[in-house]
Amino acid sequence: MLVHLGRIVNHKMLGKYALPAFNTSDLEMTQGIVRAAKKLKAPVIIQTSVGALEYAGIEQLVGIIKTEAHESPTPIALHQDHCHDFKLIKKLIDLGYSSVMLDASHLSYKDNLKLTKAVVAYAHKRGVWVQAELGRILGNEDWQTVKSGEDLMTDPDQAAKFVAETRIDTLAVAVGSLHGIPVDPRIKKVLSTLKEHVDLKRLKAIRAKVKIPLVMHGASGVPDAQIRVAIKMGVAVFNIDTDLRVAFNKALRDNIKKYPQVYDPRKLLKPATDALQAMAEKKIKLMGGSGKAKGFK
């Protein structure tokens, strides 16, 4: 069933368990995610990136997600990941997204604050949640403007002020997790100033000052032990993309190599979808979401 994000992300869960926000860009990925949620009776978030919408088509991809969600007995929320475009956010709200992420973290604090407040005012009138980012999650776009990974981290005091002034519903924090698998040497130079880990001390300080649910992006590379600690500190959502892609890609490559004579895409893609589902199940179990959809109406 398709539900509002606010029905599955709430203060009651904080410190106890968390939900994965899985990225999708096509039918196979969506099916793997939904099947994992159904098997484990777990609520999940399915999210789209701007790139995924451009690849599959906005109406087409949203249609796939809605169809799969409506046919599932488990609660599934639809969320838009990093988006800089207010016009696109408005369109997605019209299409039924219950949560959108405005990413204005590349702007100055003043401009980020101004744009976020405008998006919140628009979205809240329509019953839609807004996620924003303060600090910048490390990734492929960041090598140009920083010399150290520390420059990108979320400041706890600033985070508290930002949340109070914008009235956002969830906050994406930058505490050391990475987007994707960086390969550019200029990015690696920045990343060499940090170990790929979560700055738990900083996360604890943010949690003490910010009471809304926290979101950790780039969670594919975070060790399981730190995921568990972050959950106890009140992180409610972990974005998972790269791990799903890697699982899908590896299974697809192995299947093509094993059966070079097979030309039916369905037969080639099924093992890849199954591998993605297995990875999604692993993440749901890690975050403690199994069985949390029982009794949900």
| Catalytic residue IDs | 81
d(CA 141, CA 148) in angstroms, rounded, equals 14
Phi, psi of 201 (to 5 degrees): -65, -45
Q: Which of 75, 244, 77, 51 is nearest to 169 (CA)?
A: 77
Nearest CA among 210, 234, 295 for reference residue 12 = 234
State yes or no: 133 annotated in a binding site.
yes
- For residues 79 and 97, is the Cβ–Cβ distance under 8 A? yes
* HSE toward the beta carbon, residue 158, CA cutoff 13 A: 15
* Residue in 244, 200, 251 with CA at minimum distance from that of residue 44: 244
Q: Which residue's structure tokens are 């890609």?
A: 249
Distance of alpha carbon 197 from alpha carbon 240, whole angstroms: 16
Q: Is 142 annotated as a binding residue?
A: no
Q: Is 68 annotated as a binding residue?
A: no
> Any known ligand binding at 196?
no
11 marked among binding-site residues: no
Q: Please give the Cα distance from 151 to 138 (Å, whole number).
A: 10
108 is in an annotated binding site: no
What φ, ψ does residue 63 adopt, rounded to 5°?
A: -60, -40
240 is in an annotated binding site: yes
46 is in an annotated binding site: no
C-alpha torsion angle, residues 8, 101, 78, 5 (rounded to 10)? 20
82 is in an annotated binding site: yes
The pair of three-digit structure tokens given for residue 61, joined into one six-digit string: 């991809």
152 within 8 A of 142, measured Cβ to Cβ = yes
Q: Which two tokens stand for residue 35?
A: 């099947």
Binding residues are 82, 103, 133, 179-180, 217-220, 239-242
Binding residues for dihydroxyacetone phosphate are 180, 218-220, 239-242
Binding residues for Zn(2+) are 82, 103, 133, 179, 217
